[in-house]
Structure 1
Amino acid sequence: MKSKTFLLLITSVSALGGFLFGYDTGVINGAQYFLSQHFDLDPALKGWVVGSALIGCLVGALSAGYLSMKIGRKYSLIISAALFTISAWGSGLPSFLPDSVSLLVVFRIIGGLGIGIASMSAPMYIAEIAPSHRRGTLVTFYQLAIVIGFFVVFLVTYFIGDKLSVAENISFGWRRMFWSELIPSSLFLVLLFFVPKSPRWLYLMQRPEEGYGTLLKIHGSELAKIEAHQIQDSIDQNLEKPKVNFFSKAILGIILIGTIFSMLQQFTGINAVLYYGSDIFEKALGFGKDDVIEQQILLAFINLIFTFIAMFSVDKFGRKPLVYIGCVGMIIGFSLLGISLQQQSVGLVSLIGVLLFIASFAMSMGPVVWVLLSEMFPNRIRSAAMSIAVAAQWASNYVVSQFFPVVSESETNMNSFWNGSLPYFIFIGFIILIIVFTYKFLPETKNKSLEELEDIWD
């Protein structure tokens, strides 16, 4: 019982990286409406302010592979927590700093570095401490933490914004929204010093005694012996193999499959909805400014509930069935939204479409991508391969967040045929591609140890 409690506690602490990922992403959603007016931003510059953090995410994810091997998963997460804290403080632009868009972007990029490192290190750390029969559920804690972060930050920004007038929000309310992130980022930083190092990393670093000690704490003596034997066996076999050639057909193929699947998560359009939700509700769905934040809270609540559904089904039904079910739901959701926009009959059907899309994503591509990325790569390439896959995901995220407002406000999208619906039909095309790609290339990883999964690729 003690080992299960300990496992749950360290999983929860490492998943705080996901909470800050969601919080940091959500805070720009709540603040961008007011800071856009404060700095008088045009659509392209607004896309740059919102999307600039993703540059940091890309660099952070690329560096996370090296960091996680050199200093370990634990200390990589500690670095990310420190970066989150610096970013939260600086993004509010304290009075002694120049009040400029450029400086705001710098601190947003610093926060992005933290997100990039955490988004690779946290799910990998959880996968490496989790027993195979619970790994899907425990890695889903990371996605659950992301959506809880979204939900909490929407409540926080609503509370801050509701207490101030519109003029006060434009002047300084958005600063308080950024500063609110200091509370969870400081907590994350402190708690990380109390979690153990990844046992698999310790074995890779030729420190089996420490690795076995951590396995005992996490799993108890019986399961620890089995895990230790499998890990050591895998490492011994890899020592007999030639040095990893990342450009070999086999290794490159594995990395490409994980990377493409990771990128496709972003081309569902999820972050276009999350980053620009307030704009979508106001402009596309016709809600007034007073209703926008309430609709965003509803969106975050749906996201949260259906992530719980994914948690309790990913190890029961498997990864691929959840992807298929979720993709069908996302297609139906965006079809309802797109057609209602095209026919200029925006209303309840449009809102149902958005919520159905969010619910379907939350129970499929949201958690399943992180689960698969954390478990599909062999031990000897996991850090580097996951770093590449996550970095590619952030690059895709940047492309979507940068160009969504441009496409959304383009003349083509606003002509009499599309009536604002074009982006959602583009996203539907990518979701169909996900179904085909999953069926053709992705293995089912349910109930297999990380070492057993190496045999699938062999």
Structure 2
Amino acid sequence: MTKKTFLLLIAAVSALGGLLFGYDTGVINGAQFYLSKYFDLSDAMKGWVVGSALIGCFVGAIVAGPLSIKIGRKYSLIISAVLFTISAWGSGLPSFLPESVTLLVVFRIIGGLGIGIASMNAPMYIAEIAPSDIRGRMVTYYQLAIVIGFFVVFLATYFIGTNLTEAENIQEGWRKMFWSELIPSGLFLILLFFVPKSPRWLALKGKDDEALVVLKKIHDDEQANKEIFQIQQSLKADDTGLKVNYFSKAILTIIVIGTVFSMLQQFTGINAVLYYGADIFEKALGFGKEDVLLQQILLAFVNLVFTFVAMFTVDKFGRKPLIYIGAFGMLAGFLLLGITLQQEAVGFLSLLGVLIFIASFALSMGPVVWVLLSEMFPNKIRSVAMSVAVAAQWAANYVVSQSFPIVMGSEVNNSSTWNGSLPYFIFIVFIVVIVYVTYKFIPETKGKTLEEIEGFWKK
């Protein structure tokens, strides 16, 4: 296998892992309208069915760290692929299973476990195996695939839904929407058996010869030998003969910085826009129901296009410049949306504000957070530290997704002072915090090996 083919295989696997992340997260949004009617769900139960997967995501991200240390990145991803497949099959409740909302929720939580494990292991695996000069782009493939997953699932559910009558959708359509995930999850599972183990994990387990074999598939012999030496030196420097003390000041500081940065991705408000886009367009922006699906597809398309922009600039401009550019754009977008809402001048400028925000997020905090999280932690603590950071991100996701509709419906938000704009000004405050945290605490990692990045924390 040539080096180019080898890297393409890694890109394909990471793409499918990310696509399933986006697909599994998004499929419920298309299916819930019909399954809610099928099961005659109350608003509270509908929220539970939709949000239950986030519990699995949180738990999956927590167990992903110890799992990754024990069995490695590759086999952790295989487990996630199996969970995706079980969830996709079971969520459609085949005829021989009891038709129970509780059982549906169980399968959604199983899918969430798969997302949680994959969301931590996939970007880390790519970062540990990709050459430093294209590592940013390689990890960005993962975010690109998440966005493609959202886009594809919107199209898939739309295609399934429009080719059936409403009665057929209520009876069978929502099942087919869940089962459509079996195709990418099956491919993901098969391809994972053809990728190697992470060289950093192999070295961590004392299998330096195997690690060198993998590195030589990526680099020429000289660079491969240089990298294995750097990895060995990194591990020796941290090897005190004792277990890692995660509560020591030095290590805890790194984990806290990464965790806060990870959570801030959600506090931009991105998932409030993606999860509740239909409500925003219909209620806040005054669009008719017939326009909502087209607006959702427009959001997904803009998200996709600007993730491509990030992919081709992250290794050229660097990580921090993209965050600054994106933060400025997100501020501009939400200011435009917030002011037009506050002034009761809702219209084209409001929609433009949403699109500017989405585009700016897609070229900055969307992909760059995953790039930096996969790079910034030292070899010895990477699995556990990233597990904590990703679990915290899922917790933040849950907080935002649950609190957004509450704030939107509050008397304060609907008073003459705010006119429905309050949530967006809250998100603006967090975007300003992102700029400060990035400037003060986040290292620039462009073009550096993971071991060179580790040196930043020892200054």
TM-score (norm 1): 0.96
Aligned residue for 2:395? Answer: 395
Aligned residue for 1:8? Answer: 8
Q: Does 1:234 align with 2:234?
A: yes
Q: Return 96-105 or 203-212, whichever deviates more.
A: 96-105
SS in 1 for 2:209: helix
TM-superposed deviation, 1:279:
2.1
Show structure 2 runs of 5+ residues with no match.
Answer: none
Q: CA RMSD in A?
A: 1.7
State the distance in 2 between where 1:177 and 1:78 align: 23
Aligned residue for 2:49? Answer: 49
SS in 1 for 2:287: coil
Contact 1:44–1:405, Cα closer than 8 Å, also in 2? no
Q: Deviations over 1:256-284 (max 9, x none)?
A: 00000000101111111111222222222
TM-superposed deviation, 1:132:
1.2
State the distance in 2 between where 1:404 and 1:43 align: 15
Contact 1:330–1:358, Cα closer than 8 Å, also in 2? yes
Aligned residue for 1:413? Answer: 413
Percent identity for Structure 1 against Structure 2: 75
Q: Return 271-280 or 43-52, whichever deviates more.
A: 43-52
TM-superposed deviation, 1:43:
4.2
State the distance in 2 between where 1:241 and 1:328 align: 47
Aligned residue for 1:425? Answer: 425
TM-score (norm 2): 0.96
State the distance in 1 between where 2:340 and 2:300 align: 22
User: Structure 2 vs 1, CA of residues 148 and 164 (structure 1 numbering), >3 Å: closer, same or farther?
Assistant: same
Show structure 1 runs of 5+ residues with no match.
Answer: none
Letter in 1 for 2:293: I
SS in 1 for 2:25: helix
SS in 1 for 2:217: helix
Contact 2:131–2:218, Cα closer than 8 Å, also in 1? no
Letter in 2 for 1:156: A
TM-superposed deviation, 1:208:
1.1
Q: Does 1:75 align with 2:70?
A: no
SS in 1 for 2:133: helix
State the distance in 1 between where 2:37 and 2:295 align: 21
TM-superposed deviation, 1:124:
0.4
Aligned residue for 2:314? Answer: 314
Aligned residue for 2:150? Answer: 150
State the distance in 2 between where 1:352 and 1:38 align: 36
Once the two structures are superposed, the pairs formed by residues 324-339 of structure 1 within 5 Å of their partners are 324-339=324-339
Contact 1:203–1:231, Cα closer than 8 Å, also in 2? yes
TM-superposed deviation, 1:324:
1.0
Letter in 2 for 1:36: S
State the distance in 2 between where 1:334 and 1:165 align: 38
Q: Does 1:371 align with 2:377?
A: no
Aligned residue for 1:263? Answer: 263
User: Structure 2 vs 1, CA of residues 102 and 413 (structure 1 numbering), >3 Å: closer, same or farther?
Assistant: farther
TM-superposed deviation, 1:8:
2.3
User: Structure 2 vs 1, CA of residues 171 and 344 (structure 1 numbering), >3 Å: closer, same or farther?
Assistant: farther
Aligned residues: 458
State the distance in 1 between where 2:322 and 2:129 align: 24
Aligned residue for 2:342? Answer: 342
State the distance in 2 between where 1:310 and 1:42 align: 41
SS in 2 for 1:132: coil
Once the two structures are superposed, the pairs formed by residues 148-187 of structure 1 within 5 Å of their partners are 148-187=148-187
TM-superposed deviation, 1:11:
2.6
Q: Return 297-306 or 215-224, whichever deviates more.
A: 215-224
User: Structure 2 vs 1, CA of residues 398 and 212 (structure 1 numbering), >3 Å: closer, same or farther?
Assistant: same
SS in 1 for 2:99: coil
Letter in 2 for 1:99: E
Contact 2:202–2:210, Cα closer than 8 Å, also in 1? yes
TM-superposed deviation, 1:242:
5.2
Q: Deviations over 1:347-389 (max 9, x none)?
A: 2111111111110000000011000100000000000100000
TM-superposed deviation, 1:241:
6.8
SS in 1 for 2:239: helix
Letter in 1 for 2:267: F
Letter in 2 for 1:357: F
State the distance in 1 between where 2:179 and 2:85 align: 9
User: Structure 2 vs 1, CA of residues 39 and 278 (structure 1 numbering), >3 Å: closer, same or farther?
Assistant: farther
